[in-house]
Amino acid sequence: MSDRVILSIGTKKGLFVAEAAKRRRGFTLRGPFAPGVAVYSALIDTRGTPRLYASSCNAFFGMKVLRSTDLGKKFKETKSPPAFPKDDGRALANIWSLEPGPDKKDLWCGVEPAALFRSSDGGDSWALVPGISNHAHARKWQPGNGGLCMHTIYRADDRVHLGISTGGHYLSEDGGNTFSAANQGVGAGFTPDPYPEFGQCVHKITGHKDAPGRLYMQNHGGWAEWDGPGGRRPGIGVLRSDDHGHTWRSIAKGLPSDFGFPIVVHPHDADTVYVLPLEPMTRTCPGAAPAVWRSENGGGSWRRLARGLPKQSSYFTVQRDAMDIDELESPALYFGTTTGQLWIGRDGGEAFECLFDALPPIHCVKAAVV
Amino acid sequence: MHRELTVSVRIPGPLREYCAGASELTVTAPDVGAALAQLEREHPSLYRNICDETGAVRRHIAVFVNTSHLRDLGGLGTALVPGDVVTIFPAVSGG
């Protein structure tokens, strides 16, 4: 019986694990694991006995994948991290995403420079997925501010959606063997062509198992006022697809900014989606007053959720993997900030409370009920 | 073993878990590249901490031969002579 909530919190200075009973009244904190080392991705794998995974981006000694089999009381390195073949010429710079694969011990891993790896033994060995890693476009992708990263892996049956910054959205419909750019309707603000075939700065993609074919995307927005070649590009930052990602349309109307990083779907309602708008130039909250915005009709309209959050003087960023939601009946939203605060938004984001206010800058937050 | 080509490699504390706790390893190699290649064969996980997949020494790792930084010598082709000490350092960097 699931009776505990586990949060895996990746920070600039290591991995923390928070745990609470289902009522989520008091969270205890463990860590840091891999102290002093940046953690950009984490996974709480609830298939069978829960396992926690995290990447460890060691500036000195390279990448590691950490694994815990006791709910984050201790972590050990897996036998090896992903690695490019020796004759490839690329070297692993970071690990940006860890996701479960189709079989019980399968793991998928998106890395920088943008490439995809798979493991069939729980992270002890890895194989490059050539269909995307050696795609004809791969050497034409350009790094965004965070590097050239494959940050999103979203699987829906035999379809695999990948988000690459800046490469765009790539779709496989054969279980991950072959991939095609699928960016119709996904705008780019930093190229003369507002709708290129690929090269968009996608920030995050998500979906819901109860709405097959529907996807939500937080893209790099903030181009409504652009007056250079190609003209204005309003609303390209928050998008929706209803055809498995082949085409996309804006759902940004009503938001204070279409720029942001994370996008999260309610666990029990595919129409309810959350974003955290940021000012495009500063990547901080509009008016220095942070708020999560929620749509309950698939992006048709949006409502500001800020009860309990600071009303002024807040200048943090919430990064692409730093917001998540648990799966309890009345789920709680969680987000971590670059100023080291971890917030919980109870009752689906109706009321926020700061759980921890002095962690290192937070890169990722994952929540699970175990 | 060619006794005249035997050199020692000093391992920093954070990396000793990758070579059974050893603070010093002995290799038989004519140059630094060959010394690292021997580490790769005998202690692959230790090697991965020092060099990336392309074989390059990681950006924040400093390799010294005696008291000289590898960048001031001949890079991986720097010749070794008997009794040389190769030292692996985490570079001074961070934030």
Residue B95 within any structural domain of the chain: no
Q: What is the pLDDT along chain A (370 residues), one digit of tens a residue?
A: 578 999 999 999 999 999 999 999 999 999 999 999 999 999 999 999 999 999 999 989 999 999 999 999 999 999 999 999 999 999 999 999 999 999 989 999 999 999 999 999 999 999 999 999 999 999 999 888 788 999 999 999 999 999 999 899 999 999 999 999 999 999 998 888 899 999 999 999 999 999 999 999 999 999 988 877 788 899 999 999 999 999 999 999 999 999 999 999 999 999 999 999 999 989 999 999 999 999 999 999 999 999 999 999 999 999 999 999 999 999 999 999 999 999 999 999 999 999 999 999 999 999 999 9
Helices and strands (H and E) in chain B: how many: 2, 5
Residue B31 falls inside a structural domain: yes
Residues of A numbered 92-131 whose beta carbons fall under 8 angstroms of chain B's beta carbons: which are they? 92
Give percent of chain A above pLDDT 70. Answer: 100
Question: How confident is the model over A59-77, as pLDDT tens digits?
Answer: 899 999 999 999 999 999 9
Question: B14 and A61: CB-CB below 8 Å?
Answer: yes
Q: Report CA-CA distances (Å) from A162 to A17, A66, A199.
A: 27, 23, 13
Q: Are strands A4-11 and A14-21 parallel, antiparallel or unpaired?
A: antiparallel
H or E stretch at A348: helix A346-349
In a mutational test of the B interface, the residue from A37, A56, A60 whose CB has the highest number of chain B CBs within 10 Å is A60
B49 occurs within a structural domain: yes
B→A contacts (Cβ < 8 Å), by residue, are 14-15, 45, 48-50, 52-56, 58-61, 90-91, 93-94
Q: Does B37 map to a domain?
A: yes
Below-50 pLDDT ranges, chain B: 1-2
Question: How many distinct structural domains can be found in chain B?
Answer: 1
**Global pTM?**
0.93
The reply to whether B26 falls in a domain is yes
Of residues A59, A62, A85, nearest to B48 (C-beta) = A62
CATH of residue B40's domain is: 3.10.20.30
**Are A61 and B93 in contact (CB < 8 Å)?**
no
Is B52 within 8 Å of A86 when comparing Cβ atoms? no
Instruction: Give the C-alpha separation, B55 to B34, whole Å.
Output: 11
Sign of the dihedral defined by the CA atoms of residues A58, A60, A62, A66, in that order: negative
- Residue B53 has its nearest CB partner, among A58, A59, A83, at A83
Q: Does residue B80 lie within any of the structural domains?
A: yes
For B49, the closest of A61, A85, A86 (CB atoms) is A61
| B34 falls within a domain | yes
List the domain range (segments joined by +) for residue B35: 3-90
Q: What is the DSSP string of A128-160?
A: E-HHHHT-TTGGG---BTTBSEEEEEEEETTEE
> Is residue B53 in some structural domain?
yes
